[in-house]
Amino acid sequence: MKDVLKIADKTFNSRLFTGTGKFSSSQVMQEAIVASESELVTVALKRVELDNESDNILVHLKEKHMNVLPNTSGVRTAKEAVFAALLAREALGTHWIKLEIHPDPKYLLPDPIETLKAAEELVKLGFVVMPYVHADPVLCKRLEDVGAQCVMPLGAPIGSNKGIMTSDFLEIIIEQSNVPVIIDAGIGAPSHAAYAMELGADAVLVNTAIAVSQNPIQMAIAFKLAVQAGRMAYKAKLASKKQYAEASSPLTSFLNA
Amino acid sequence: MRSFKNTFDLYDWDTLEQDIYNISSNDVQRVLGKEKITLEDFKVLISPAAKPFIEQMAQRSQALTKKRFGNTIQMYLPMYLSNECQNICTYCGFSMTNKIRRKTLSDKEILKEVAHIKRLGYDHILLVTGEANSTVGVSYLKNAICLIRAHFSNISIEVQPLDQDDYESLIEEGLYGVLVYQETYHKATYKTHHPKGKKSNFDYRMDTPDRLGKAGVHKIGIGALFGLEDWRVDSFYTALHLKYLQKTYWKTKYSISFPRLRPHEGNVEPKVEMTDADLVQLICAYRLLDEDVELSMSTRESANFRNNIINLGITSISAESKTNPGGYAVAPESLEQFEICDARSTEEIKQMIQFQGYEVVWKDWDETFSKSV
């Protein structure tokens, strides 16, 4: 059976989602995303000219028939997020939305209260909601309850490239979740992505680490392979880690004497 | 009432100055070995002792900036609406006592300027005025924002300090950000340069970012005008102000600008010179202190300096700015607030930025985000 990822009514062969920010040009962005073989690409609404058919970012994505996932980056409240999502649906013709509500413009940390509120509202309005959240297992369950089609917990602060700093919580989220878990922020190296996939994440989203690399195209390929390797390792079941050698049994050998 | 003044009063200018000038090379090396730079460390990084470490600082500043902002430079353009002013600022071309022709743009003239600016490609605009509350007050600004908001995704102002409720009413119309520079945090020097007009009130001006924070504006820009006083001490106060604001108004974004005194009508010589190397050192020190703060560079600086600085930590710049009301299309020959230095066209700047491997960003906001509030 083919190992595909299903979110709402869409299936994905690639478990690497990407973004469009921070690239040195739209051309480089396009080439990197093509090389990554990513099938879902997030775009900040605030960066695109919604009423302009020849918007530079959108044109480069459309040329390659990429699935565009608009995000609400920049909004501070649930109300603003819903407004932005409606605008995106109308302008871009997609009912998929990456819900990002970070009232703190410095660390861009997601507001759990506003996110839950907005998710509930957007699901009612018929959106496929992909919420960016802290690695908070309870919040993830609450989002699932209101109808979010996946959850996107962070590995570390966005753009920090620090890797999977929240693994204890991610493991709980992955264990409990009935919707796909996509690790969203902080992934700075292919090894981090592989690790996230080994933990059992359904997908990862990587932007900064690819865009800011000296060679974004090579880095995109490296991430593609790392995600595949991590997924394969997860499916093949990793051997369990051992704290102590098992050669002798100093505590229980008397039983055999 | 929460106010920066409480923090400001804990520091003494002369003690700070002494501290900064007594810093040793060992202090600098210790700070450069740290991962997290504090306000105390910032003092070390702007000291004369840090000068020999400028390349190291620049390398780190570049890496941090790329990590946070990527390979992008945001473009903006100032649009001067009026040069009427009831203040005396000894260093400013619009100062009340300067005998220049005063002009405030009409609706028609504003739209003429807008048409020209849109042709250049800009989507982030900065509206600038002097301080003439009877003719260019809140209602004038409100009207101007309403007139232009369909044409720009992001509207900021650099005008006289206003009250909190005035800011709130402008935010409702779509105002995104406000720039307000303290000019100098040295109270006595401030008085000598602002002897008359509303601006002579040091405390009211210094309290402006607090009023903006309370009003809930999206972005606040602060800075000092370099040349009035020792740039190192003024920059420490600016950084202190930044850190206070970030903690207090945590939903607001911040930007820092670095204006150096430029020649203008009714000259005043800089009291303290700030060299190009000094300015580079300062920009890098800010970036090391704060990965996320926007650092902005105007056309006051030379072409050569600007070409090199976009690699070092700057995140937004303007091009072919006119500092006279109507300067783009209505009255290009009128007298400017100060002489700009880099007069290259927007197209030339765009090519220069792209040549250095950066994407030119025109739009990074959407007016609907402001409207839905």
Q: Cα B100 vs. chain centroid, distance in angstroms?
A: 25
pLDDT for A222 equals: 98
Chain A, nearest residue to B363 by Cα: A47
Q: Which residues of B touch A (CB under 8 A)?
A: 66-72, 123, 153, 246, 250-253, 292, 354, 357-359, 361, 363-366, 368-369, 371-373
Picking from B259, B225, B230, the residue whose alpha carbon sits closest to that of residue B340 is: B259
Chain A, nearest residue to B368 by Cα: A84
With cut-offs at 50, 70 and 90, classify the pLDDT of residue A1: low
User: Which residues constitute the domain of residue B196?
Assistant: 4-371
Residue A250 has pLDDT above 80, yes or no: no
pLDDT for A246 equals: 60
Residue A55 has pLDDT above 60, yes or no: yes
CATH of the domain at B235: 3.20.20.70
Question: What is the mean predicted confidence (pLDDT) over A183-195?
Answer: 96
Name B42's Cβ contacts closer than 8 Å, sequence gap at least 6: B236, B239, B285, B286, B288, B289
pLDDT for A188 equals: 95
Of A25, A87, A211, the CB nearest to B354: A25
pLDDT for B268 equals: 74
Tokens of B66: 């790329």
Q: Give the minimum alpha-carbon distance from B68 to chain A in angstroms, rounded to a whole number.
A: 6
pLDDT for B333 equals: 80
Q: Give the minimum alpha-carbon distance from B254 to chain A in angstroms, rounded to a whole number.
A: 9
Picking from B85, B78, B27, B80, the residue whose alpha carbon sits closest to that of residue B52 is: B27
State pLDDT tens for residues A138-163.
999 999 999 999 999 999 998 888 99
Q: Give the minimum alpha-carbon distance from A241 to chain B in angstroms, rounded to a whole number.
A: 32
Q: Within 10 A of A152 (CB to CB), how many other CB atoms are there?
A: 26
Decide if A75 touches B, using CB distance below 8 A: yes
Amino acid at B105: L
CB contact under 8 A, B363 and A74: no
What distance in Å separates the CA atoms of residue B16 and residue B240, rounded to the nearest whole number?
Answer: 12
Which residues in chain B touch residue A208, judged by CB atoms under 8 angstroms apart? 67, 70
Q: Give the minimum alpha-carbon distance from A211 to chain B in angstroms, rounded to a whole number.
A: 7
B146 neighbors B173 (Cβ within 8 angstroms):
yes
Separation in Å, CA B129 to CA A44, A123, B89, B211: 32, 46, 14, 19
CB contact under 8 A, A84 and B368: yes
CB contact under 8 A, B366 and A161: no
Which residues in chain B touch residue A84, judged by CB atoms under 8 angstroms apart? 366, 368-369, 372
What distance in Å separates the CA atoms of residue A193 and residue A190, rounded to the nearest whole number?
Answer: 5
- Which conformational region is residue B151 in: left (phi greater than 0), alpha (psi within -120 to 50 degrees), or beta? alpha
* DSSP-assigned letter for residue B199: G
Of A104, A161, A212, the CB nearest to B71: A212
Which residues in chain A touch residue B359, judged by CB atoms under 8 angstroms apart? 23-26
Report the length, in residues, of chain B: 373
Strand partners, A5: A12
Tokens of A114: 């506003």
Picking from B194, B187, B229, B188, the residue whose alpha carbon sits closest to that of residue B17 is: B229
Written as one string, the DSSP assignment of A193-249 is HHHHHHHT-SEEEE-HHHHTSSSHHHHHHHHHHHHHHHHHHHHH-PPPP-SS--S--
- Which conformational region is residue A49 in: left (phi greater than 0), alpha (psi within -120 to 50 degrees), or beta? beta
Domain residue ranges of chain A, discontinuous segments joined by + = 5-256
Residue A51 has pLDDT above 50, yes or no: yes
Tokens of A189: 């190296």
Q: Where are the alpha helices (DSSP H) in chain B?
A: 4-8, 13-21, 25-32, 39-45, 54-69, 107-120, 138-148, 164-172, 187-193, 202-206, 208-215, 231-248, 276-289, 303-309, 346-355, 367-371
What distance in Å separates the CA atoms of residue B158 and residue B172, rounded to the nearest whole number?
Answer: 17
Name the one residue in this structure whose structure tokens are 């720039």: B179
* DSSP-assigned letter for residue A66: P
Tokens of B199: 């601006």
pLDDT in tens, chain B (373 residues): 789 999 999 999 999 999 999 999 999 999 999 989 999 999 999 999 999 999 999 999 999 999 999 999 999 999 999 999 999 998 888 899 888 899 999 999 999 999 999 999 999 999 999 999 999 999 999 999 999 999 999 999 999 999 999 999 999 999 999 999 999 999 999 999 999 889 999 999 999 999 999 999 999 999 999 999 999 999 999 999 999 999 999 999 999 999 998 766 556 788 888 999 999 999 999 999 999 999 999 999 999 999 999 999 999 999 999 999 999 999 888 878 877 889 999 999 999 999 999 999 999 998 778 765 4
Written as one string, the DSSP assignment of A119-166 is HHHHHHTT-EEEEEE-S-HHHHHHHHHHT-S-BEE-SSSTT-----S-
Which residues in chain A touch residue B369, judged by CB atoms under 8 angstroms apart? 46, 74-75, 80, 83-84
Decide if A185 touches B, using CB distance below 8 A: no
| Number of domains present in the structure of chain B | 1
Which residues in chain A touch residue B153, judged by CB atoms under 8 angstroms apart? 46
Q: Give the minimum alpha-carbon distance from A176 to chain B in angstroms, rounded to a whole number.
A: 32
Which residues in chain A touch residue B354, judged by CB atoms under 8 angstroms apart? 25
The residues of A annotated with a catalytic role in the active site are 98
CA dihedral B171, B177, B181, B182 (to 10 degrees): 50
State pLDDT tens for residues B124-161.
999 999 999 999 999 999 999 999 999 999 999 999 99
pLDDT for A6 equals: 96
Chain A, nearest residue to B315 by Cα: A22
Residue of B64, B69, B71 for testing the chain A interface, max A β-carbons within 10 Å? B71
Tell me the average pLDDT of chain B.
94
CB contact under 8 A, A105 and B253: yes
ipTM tops the 0.85 cut: no
Which residues in chain B touch residue A80, judged by CB atoms under 8 angstroms apart? 369, 372-373
State pLDDT tens for residues B46-96.
999 999 999 999 999 999 999 999 999 999 999 999 999 999 998 888 899
CATH superfamily, domain at A5-256: Aldolase class I (3.20.20.70)
pLDDT for B261 equals: 86
What distance in Å separates the CA atoms of residue B54 and residue B283, rounded to the nearest whole number?
Answer: 11
